[in-house]
Structure formats: C-alpha cells, structure tokens
C-alpha cells in the first residue's frame, strides 16, 4: 500500500473525465461537419471506461479509458444542391451528433470531474489529519 | 500492519507518462520508512542505528516528489501534454511529503529535547 493510493485512484478518474470532456468537445465541434454521400458521415464518439484492477491498493487502481466507440444510426441525407459536396441528386450527409445527448453527457462529465476533485481533496484532508495525530 | 497481496493482481503503478518509472512516491516512502524503522529497531540490538541514512532517504523521497511536480510544471508551461490536474496532484503530493517530513523532524527533536532536559 502506497502512501498516496487514494490520490492516485482519484487521479485516474480525473484523467478519464478530462478525456470525456475532450471527446464531447470534439463531437460538438463537428456538429456541422457535412460530408458527401460517398463517405461515412461523422459519427459522434463515446468513451468506453473499464475498472482498473491493477495498482498497489487493495481497493483497486481506479478507472481507465479502454476505447473510443462511434455511435450507430442511419445518416440523414439532406437536399442541398448548392453545397460543393452535393452528389448528382443534390444530397449531402449530415453528421450523427445528438445535441441533447452531448449536452447531458457534458453535464455528467463535468460533475464527474468535480466529484473526483472532491474525493481527492477528502483524501488529502484525511492525510493532513493523520499528520496531526499526537501533536501536543 | 500489512495487507497480504492478492494473487493475480500485479503491482503496477499507473504513473504520469512524463515521470520515469520507478519514481513512484508510495514506494519511495515505504523505502524511507523501512530505513527509519530499521534504524529505530537497531537500538540496543546487533545492528547500529543509522539515523543519518534514514533521514537522508526520507529527504530524497521528498525531493523526488518536488522534482516530479517541477517536471510537470515545466512541461505544462512549455505547452506540453501535461494536464492541470496532474500538476496540482503532484504539487499536493509534494506538499504532503514535506508536511510529513516536518512532522517526523518535530517529533524526533521533541524526543531529543525531552531526553536532554532529564535530570540525572
């Protein structure tokens, strides 16, 4: 058992939440990425998390991001003949980004980051309290 | 108090990529504490107490924590791939290590002055 296991575990949560925030930012930034009908449309990404069993603590090692998945779903072909990417029928593919999902995910990711910071602060305070043991 | 290791779980530490492996603070501390313990346990025994090396290795552990925080701070300032939370974590680890060192020093000094005050 290392001295800073609780801090290291919270750090993995912080790293995962931070990456999740990055991914949501990427999805929202590409919400207007139009592609031609010959290509795959932009599909929003999702982080896949897994429990980390390694680490010196008996409790576990925290969390890790194992993969980035892309959402399934039928692309919507929109009639826009003036678009430079439009095909012979004047259609382009719109990205598959559900803004409602992205916004709720953003709130969850943000809260998750804050919670990990709080957990880290608590373990820090516990450590500081331990240093006060026996102080006259 | 020691916890028996669980079989099948390798002791791998998830460290920061900017930090070289083997510089994990927990293990450094364990080494330092072992050194302190062997120093204390050696009083009256066969082995000589080696307070100087015990304190030396504890100081090295604290110094390593500060160097780690320093490296991440430099990486972040230079626009590297370090994250702000990594720097904050490294800095609080370094600060907690210094606090621990100061406490250990205070207790040791307290014991010493207590003995020096003893009337013979």
Taking only the tens place, the pLDDT of each residue in A84-113 is 888 888 899 999 999 999 999 999 999 999
Look over chain B and give the mean of its residue pLDDT values, rounded to a whole number: 73
* Token digits of residue B109: 């000094």
Per-window interface: A 89-128 vs B, CB < 8 A:
117, 120, 124, 127-128
Cβ distance A56 to B86 less than 8 Å, yes or no, reads: no
Is this prediction's ipTM beyond 0.95?
A: no
What is d(CA A121, CA A110) in angstroms, rounded to the nearest whole number? 17
- Out of B13, B26, B107, name the one closest to residue A3 (CB): B26
* Token digits of residue B21: 């492996």
B22 pLDDT band (50/70/90 cuts)?
very low
Shortest Cα distance from A32 to chain B (angstroms)? 28
Task: Decide: pTM greater than 0.90.
Answer: no
Cβ distance B12 to A11 less than 8 Å, yes or no, reads: no
* Token digits of residue A43: 């599909």
What is d(CA B94, CA B63) in angstroms, rounded to the nearest whole number? 8
- Please list every residue in chain B whose beta carbon sits closer than 8 Å to the beta carbon of residue A52: 14
* DSSP SS3 for A68: strand
- If phi > 0 it is left, if psi is from -120 to 50 it is alpha, else beta; for residue A77 that is beta
What is d(CA A123, CA B96) in angstroms, rounded to the nearest whole number? 11
Phi then psi for residue B110, to 5 deg, are -60, -45
Closest CA to A47 of A63, A59, A61: A63
Across A105-119, B18-32, B71-85, least confident range: B18-32
Q: Which of the 8 DSSP states describes residue A58?
A: T
- Please list every residue in chain A whose beta carbon sits closer than 8 Å to the beta carbon of residue B85: 11, 14-15, 18, 117
* DSSP SS3 for A30: coil
Cα within 13 Å of Cα(B94), Cβ side: 18
């Amino acid at each position: 058992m290392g001295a800073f296991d609780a801090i290291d575990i919270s750090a993995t949560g912080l790293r995962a939440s931070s990456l999740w925030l990055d991914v949501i930012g990427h999805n929202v930034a590409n919400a207007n990425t139009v592609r031609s009908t010959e290509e795959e449309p932009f599909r929003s990404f999702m982080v896949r998390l897994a429990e980390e069993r390694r680490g010196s603590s008996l409790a576990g090692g925290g969390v890790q991001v194992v993969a980035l998945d892309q959402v399934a779903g039928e692309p919507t072909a929109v009639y826009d003949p003036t678009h430079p990417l439009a095909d012979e029928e004047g259609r382009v593919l719109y990205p598959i980004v559900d803004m409602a999902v992205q916004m709720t995910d953003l709130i969850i990711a943000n809260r998750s980051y804050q919670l990990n910071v709080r957990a880290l602060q608590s373990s820090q305070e516990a450590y500081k309290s331990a240093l006060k043991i026996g102080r006259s | 108090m020691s916890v028996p290791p669980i079989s099948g779980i390798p002791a791998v530490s998830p460290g920061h990529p900017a930090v070289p492996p083997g510089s994990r603070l927990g293990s450094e501390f364990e080494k330092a504490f072992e050194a302190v313990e062997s120093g204390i346990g050696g009083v009256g025994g066969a082995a000589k107490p080696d307070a100087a090396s015990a304190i030396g290795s504890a100081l090295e552990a604290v110094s390593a924590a500060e160097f780690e925080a320093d490296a991440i701070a430099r990486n972040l300032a230079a626009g590297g791939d370090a994250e702000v939370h990594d720097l904050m974590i490294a800095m609080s680890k370094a600060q907690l290590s210094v606090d621990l060192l100061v406490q250990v020093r205070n207790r040791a000094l307290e014991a010493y002055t207590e003995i020096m005050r003893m009337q013979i």
